[in-house]
Chain A
Amino acid sequence: MDQSQSTAQPSGTDSGSQPLLALKGFTKSFGPVAALTDVDFDVSRGEVVALVGDNGAGKSTLIKAVSGAQPPDSGDATWDGRPARLRTPHDATSLGIATVYQDLALAENLDVVANLFLGQEEIAGTIPGVTVLDETAMEKKAVELLSSLGVTTLRSVRTEVAMLSGGQRQAVAIARSLLGDPELVMLDEPTAALGIVQTAQILKLIKRLRDRGLGVIVISHNLANVFEVADRIVVLRLGRLAATFEAEDTSRERIVASITGADEQERATEDTQL
């Protein structure tokens, strides 16, 4: 079982320094079901780590554990080498971890600016009892943020989100997660519902996050996307860490073998497609 882990690389090889976030021995059970068993994981600044695995492999459980939404039963986390507490979403946010869930959580009836700043609005001033919005400041920041991310397909930041394409919505959700100046962004299936052009745009956006020096964790089912964007690929299988690969030194076949467990039997001759 541990034979495949021999391919795992030591952590943080890219930056040479210590990882931004390192998890050790993360374990989580739902009743009798072991969703995560003794998982070690890390991500560095300026690194995109793809988290892959079949359905039920524990990808989402791991993300939720890191985001504080569902804390693990046991396991330790360090942030910049220091022990960190990840028991609530607030813990994660204040450390600098932002999560973009698959359902995006956007209000379709509001425009892009309103969605970006929802819950963290810019304020022009307060009259006793009421807080007045500073629309100008928010719009200006929104335009700057989106163009710095290379999001160029929006006609206007005053467009209702209901009128946006799936890719544009994803871009808005990612941009929104950046407003709190996070250092680590986790994206759950960011390209799942997107067409080819939009997928390419979102992948480009993810690379920009890396170029800004953020740590990025991406969950994806799509191995072609994973290879395009990831520096490191972490495979989970049945709640355990199956293997870690440097994206440059591996092949799609080896990843698939690791996901399916075929590499544990004597190298299967042919891999099934996902």
Chain B
Amino acid sequence: MSEPDTTIGTAPAETVEGFSVRRALSALGRGDLASVRVLLGIAVIWTIFQIANDRFLSAVNLSNLTLQIAAIATISIGVVLVLLLGEIDLSVGAVSGLAAGAMAVLSVQQGWPPALAIVAALGVGAAIGLFNGFIVTQFGVPSFVVTLAGLLAWQGALLWVLGDTGSVNLPPSIITDLTSTFFDPAIGWALGIGGVVIFAGVEIHARRRRQAAGLGVSAIAGTALKLGLVAAAVIAAVAILNADRGVPLAGLIVVALLVLFTFITERTRYGRHIFAVGGNVEAARRAGINVTRIKLSVFTMASMLAAAGGILAASRLLAVNQQSGSGDVLLLAIAGPVIAGTSLFGGRGYIWSALLGAVVIGSISNGMDLLALDSDVKFMITGAVLLGAVTIDAVTRRRREQSG
């Protein structure tokens, strides 16, 4: 349809010199643009709450926010994986509760070593995910239905596991340490700066390799902007967290998971195939990709990450009860990545949207708690933000496709 196929040459027309914001932005890779939009959104939200209550941006509150969103962000990583595949997992909330319940019962009532109970909880998640994937791939049942059934069934299983008391308190152990351990400021700085240096090294190495191969590289301004933003964010985060209790172990776990799964999705053949299945199953199949294997493994990882999120939530609450993993856990875990630009329709998204979305939702929730607003208002505002973010995303995508 688009007639003006203006010839500019196959080879890297992205080799642009000079600086402009537009070029710098366009030089950022997949998902980067969406994340810049979300970061701006977070800046707006934080500004509003800071004006409304000057304790919002205090070190104590931001440190609390970090711990509050750790569980949801972890669950959301799994949701992103499933969404990339073009599927959905509605059971992540219930699975997080059931896995935490299993862990609590095993460690407290059955006397298992806490570490072993954690492994067992992750195993429960893996088994459920494998089951979901099996039903989806072998019987062609839509994942929406399989996991909707799971949402009910695993909640029932949690009630059964918890038994008559309906609640298990967690005494201090490595389980509770997960969210109550804070690193010494010096270690915090070492982790933060080390991370930035590694990130910069990877980026610069990739740039060099492209240049050596005679490929165009994005404007140096783009790389510099990206590195600068990441370094500033990490340094600010470490400084703020150190001003309170230090960098929390839970935060480090979440970041490590984000980095690991970003690597898997963006840099490995397996990750490429996840995107391919989510974009065009038939094309993936004809390219020789084992679609069944991809789906099975992604559902398994998603449920394991849900279990990991459930463990973090239980660790923070110091208990598992009948409400664990129910309520808005599921919706927030799915809404977060979608707010941050991961498509519900498969093939488009990025792992960090799990964190960014959790920050948006967590900030709104935390800010409104500070303002002592009721949950009625909280739910409505969170809903409005979700709708607004997804609408903006849909509009920009449509405009982009028209211009393409």
Binding site for B on A (CB under 8 A): 103, 105-110, 114-115, 118-121, 123, 130-133, 135-137, 139-140, 143, 146-147, 151-158, 160, 162-168, 195, 197-198, 201
Contact = CB atoms under 8 A, between A and B. Distances in A.
B347 A109 contact: yes
A140 B284 contact: no
A155 B215 CA distance: 14
A107 B268 contact: no
B214 interface: yes
Nearest to A105: B283
9 contacts: A108-B279, A109-B348, A110-B276, A114-B275, A133-B268, A135-B206, A143-B215, A157-B12, A160-B404
B12 A156 contact: yes
B347 A198 contact: no
Contact of A131 (B270, B288, B404): B270
Given A136-B215, A147-B11, A121 B1 contact: no
B210 A136 contact: yes
Interface of B: 1-3, 5-14, 206, 209-210, 213-216, 264, 267-270, 272, 275-276, 278-280, 282-284, 286-289, 346-348, 400-401, 404
Contacts of B14: 156, 158
A151 B10 contact: yes
A99 to B, nearest CB: 10
A107 B279 contact: yes
A105 B267 CA distance: 23
Given A107-B283, A108-B280, A133-B269, A165 B10 contact: no
CB-CB nearest 4 A-B residue pairs: A119-B287, A163-B404, A109-B347, A107-B279
A108 B8 CA distance: 22
Given A109-B280, A115-B283, A140-B214, 9 more contacts: A106-B283, A108-B347, A109-B347, A114-B272, A118-B287, A131-B269, A147-B11, A156-B12, A198-B5
Contacts of B6: 153
A180 to B, nearest CB: 11
Interface centre among A147, A164, A165, A168 (most CB of B within 10 A): A165
Contacts of A130: 264, 268-270
Interface centre among B8, B206, B283 (most CB of A within 10 A): B283
A163 B401 contact: yes
Nearest to B276: A107
B252 to A, nearest CB: 22
Contacts of A131: 268-270
A153 B12 CA distance: 12
A155 B8 contact: yes
B1 A195 contact: yes
A133 B265 CA distance: 11
Given A107-B283, A136-B215, A146 B10 contact: yes
B283 A118 contact: yes
B87 to A, nearest CB: 15
A121 B269 CA distance: 7
Nearest to B270: A130
B5 A153 contact: yes
Contact of B5 (A156, A157, A168): A168
A197 B5 contact: yes
A60 B282 CA distance: 19
A162 B404 contact: yes
Contacts of B1: 165-166, 195
Contacts of B206: 135-136
B10 A121 contact: no
Contact of B10 (A154, A164, A166): A154
Nearest to B400: A163
Contact of B13 (A133, A156, A195): A156
B275 A123 contact: no
A139 B29 CA distance: 15
A164 B13 CA distance: 16
A202 B8 CA distance: 17
A143 B5 contact: no
Contacts of A164: 404
B258 to A, nearest CB: 17
B7 A107 contact: no
A208 to B, nearest CB: 14
A163 to B, nearest CB: 3
Nearest to A106: B283
A106 B280 contact: yes
Contacts of B213: 136-137, 139-140
Contacts of A114: 272, 275-276
B314 to A, nearest CB: 29
A105 B270 contact: no
Contacts of B282: 103, 105
A119 B289 contact: yes
Nearest to A118: B287
Contacts of B11: 143, 147
A139 B213 CA distance: 9
Contacts of A115: 283
Nearest to A193: B1
Contacts of A139: 210, 213, 215
Nearest to B403: A163
Contacts of A137: 213
A157 B209 CA distance: 17
Interface centre among A139, A151, A201 (most CB of B within 10 A): A139
Interface centre among B8, B14, B404 (most CB of A within 10 A): B404
B238 to A, nearest CB: 28
Contacts of B269: 121, 123, 130-133
A109 to B, nearest CB: 3
